[in-house]
Amino acid sequence: MTGSASALETLTHIPLAPFGRVVEAPEGATIDDLPVAALARWTEESRVLVLRGFTPMEKERFADYCRQWGEVLRWDAGEVIDLVVQDDPKNYVFSSGDVPFHWDGAFVEANPRFFVFQCLDAAPDAGGETVFCDTTAVYRDAEPELRELWSRVTMTYTTEKLAHYGGRVTEKLLSQHPGTGLPVLRYAEPLDPAVYKNPVYVAVDGVEAERADDFLAALSERLHRPEYCYAHAWQAGDLVIADNYALLHGRNAFTGPTTRHLQRVQII
């Protein structure tokens, strides 16, 4: 383990609503000064951990830092994916529009446990917030009959590989958090081919065919309720660690300048 206990005492913890936590360090602090075990525990407790005051890392060092957390997922484009808005994107992730809810890793064999972002540049009041949904809270509040229905549902997702992922995958809607053991929902909202560059089709198994559309609409409505969602407005310098099992995430459309530059690493 790296880091020191004394560095922990210089931090300020600020709760976010309805979940999440900002941890502020004195300006110029180094992330290596903090024990990974403490950060992992805070992430599991709060789902989203926003670290502020830390010096941004070079790409290679960012990947190396993340290796202290676990195995880092390697994409064709590398371990650190640059998330920037492109002029003519092949994939909606690089567009300026919204990104519906999903979990990362649906179309790869490994399910990342955490993902880590660092924000190198962001314009204020530009929209594009990353929206996180705490599915453990959604499950906790669901009626017993609905929980029972969810436990029988399986989804098959189909997409074309246009960016760094693609294929066909079947997943149970209900899963279990590997750390806390809590029930979690794994769901990727369908992407309508009329709206998104790379459509994702969702087939539901476990619900009568004529009820499938209503089932998905009701599920999305529930997941988007404000009491389950935290929308992160990015500031340059933010280092954000999120629990990819407890959460689904998406992005609001940009409403202003799209100069934002995020870098993302996924940890298995």
CB-based contact 26:10 (threshold 8 Å):
yes
Q: What is the DSSP string of 146-193?
A: HHHHHHH-EEEEEE--SSS--EEEEEESEEE-TTT--EEE-----B-T
Could you tell me which stretch among 11-19, 39-47, 98-106, 191-199 binds Fe ion (CB under 5 A)? 98-106
Which CB sits closer to Fe ion, 79 or 104? 104
Q: Is 243 in the site for Fe ion (CB under 5 A)?
A: no
**Span interacting with Fe ion, options 6-14, 24-32, 97-105, 147-155, rule CB under 5 A:** 97-105
Residue 258: CB minimum distance to Fe ion, A:
17
Tokens representing 130 are 């990353």
Rounded CA gap, 105 and 127, in Å? 25
Q: How many CA atoms lie within 13 A of 6 on its CB side?
A: 0
Q: Least CB distance from residue 104 to Fe ion, whole Å?
A: 4
Strand pairing category for 21-29 and 48-54: parallel
Q: Nearest to residue 164, comparing CAs of 116, 92, 234, 102?
A: 92
State the nearest-atom distance from the C-beta of 242 to Fe ion, in Å.
9
What SS3 class is residue 118? strand
| CB closer to Fe ion, 23 vs 99 | 99
- First CA to last CA across the chain, in angstroms? 18
Whichever of 52 and 104 has its CB closer to Fe ion, that residue is 104
**Which CB sits closer to Fe ion, 104 or 243?**
104
Does 104 bind Fe ion (CB under 5 A)? Our answer is: yes
Closest approach of Cβ 248 to Fe ion, in Å? Answer: 9
By C-beta, is 65 or 92 nearer to Fe ion? 92
Residue 79 in the binding site for Fe ion (CB under 5 A): no
What's the closest the beta carbon of residue 52 comes to Fe ion, in angstroms? 22
Min dist. Cβ of residue 67 to Fe ion (A): 20
Q: How far is the CB of 265 from Fe ion (least distance, A)?
A: 12
Q: Between residues 3 and 250, which has the closer beta carbon with respect to Fe ion?
A: 250
CA distance 250 to 113: 17
- Total residues in contact with Fe ion, by rule CB under 5 A: 1
Q: 202-221: which residues touch Fe ion (CB under 5 A)?
A: none
- Name 159's bridge partners: 167, 200
DSSP 209: G
Quick one: 104 or 174, whose CB is closer to Fe ion? 104
Binding site for Fe ion (CB under 5 A): 104
